């Protein structure tokens, strides 16, 4: 299955602060065991060495069961691969490394995602992208500088007009999963819904069940 035709399902984006004392590694371990379809490692504050060590540990925990993507940092993804760490791709923002560079370095089988907030950004994304992360669906404390909320209807409109599959992101909670999938999402990226959960395993399993029992648009 390539990045273009993948069902990303419940797509976990990590947040060290929200994971708290449980930590990123144990949170990801429980979430993958419970059925998440993709893990994006997002870390803004640790040193490069700390991030590489954590990516290596995550790759071992995930053990190729689901894709492991690195947020924003193409350089870290490259460095990890050079060390033999299994990293499946990157998710790039509007101001990150060019898509063409990511595709050229990571190869045709890598997953390359790209963020977009508007139809203008969506249509301007160059070839080589597998999916577009569209949001923010709702306001979210994990990204204080988030764009204006799209809501479910706004996401549905952009997904219907996008030439590429769309993963919804931004403040997504349990009640959003079914309507987003019915609106055409190929994945629902969640942060606090899993990272801040009291019981990661049961919360993840419930999110996955909600995704799986909802018919795709």
How do residues 107-131 score in pLDDT, each as one tens digit? 999 999 999 999 999 999 999 999 9
Cα distance between residue 134 and residue 119, in whole Å:
10
The confidence band for 1, taking pLDDT boundaries of 50, 70 and 90, is very low
Which CATH code fits 3-212?
3.20.20.70
145, pLDDT greater than 70: no
Binned at pLDDT 50, 70 and 90, residue 142 comes out as low
CA distance 140 to 149: 9
Whether 9 has a binding-site annotation, put simply, is: no
| Residue 203 is assigned to a ligand binding site | no
Tell me the average pLDDT of the chain.
94
191 annotated as a binding-site residue: yes
* Residue 121 counted as an annotated binding residue: no
pLDDT of residue 216: 76
Between residues 6 and 39, the one the model is more confident about = 39
How does pLDDT run across 171-195, given as a tens digit for each residue? Answer: 999 999 999 999 999 999 999 999 9
Separation between Cα atoms, residue 83 and residue 170, nearest integer Å: 32
pLDDT 10s digits, 86-100: 999 999 999 999 999
Higher pLDDT, 4 or 156: 156
Task: Summarize the confidence of residues 138-147 as an average pLDDT.
Answer: 71
The pTM assigned to this predicted structure is: 0.95
Is residue 27 part of an annotated ligand binding site? no
Q: Delimit the domains of the chain by residue range.
A: 3-212
pLDDT of residue 144: 63
Q: How far is CA 147 from CA 96, 120, 204, in A?
A: 17, 14, 26
Known binder of ligand: residue 115? yes
Whether 43 has a binding-site annotation, put simply, is yes
**pLDDT bracket for residue 67 (50, 70, 90):** very high
């Amino acid at each position: 299955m390539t990045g273009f035709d993948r069902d990303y399902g419940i797509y976990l984006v990590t947040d060290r602060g929200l994971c708290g004392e449980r930590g990123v590694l144990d949170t990801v371990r429980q979430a993958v065991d419970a059925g998440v379809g993709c893990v994006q490692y997002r870390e803004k504050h640790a040193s490069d060495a700390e991030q590489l060590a954590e990516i290596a540990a995550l790759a071992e925990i995930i053990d190729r069961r689901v894709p492991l993507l690195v947020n924003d940092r193409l350089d870290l993804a490259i460095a990890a691969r050079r060390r033999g760490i299994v990293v499946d791709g990157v998710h790039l923002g509007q101001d990150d490394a060019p898509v063409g560079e990511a595709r050229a370095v990571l190869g045709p089988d890598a997953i390359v995602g790209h963020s977009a907030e508007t139809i203008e950004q969506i249509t301007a994304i160059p070839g080589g992208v597998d999916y577009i992360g569209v949001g923010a669906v709702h306001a979210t404390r994990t990204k204080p500088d988030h764009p204006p909320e799209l809501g479910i209807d706004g996401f549905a409109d952009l997904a219907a007009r996008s030439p590429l599959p769309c993963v919804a992101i931004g403040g997504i909670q349990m009640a959003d999963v079914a309507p987003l999938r019915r609106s055409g999402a190929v994945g629902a990226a969640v942060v606090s819904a899993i990272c801040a959960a009291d019981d990661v395993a049961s919360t993840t399993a419930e999110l996955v069940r909600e995704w799986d029992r909802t018919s795709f648009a």
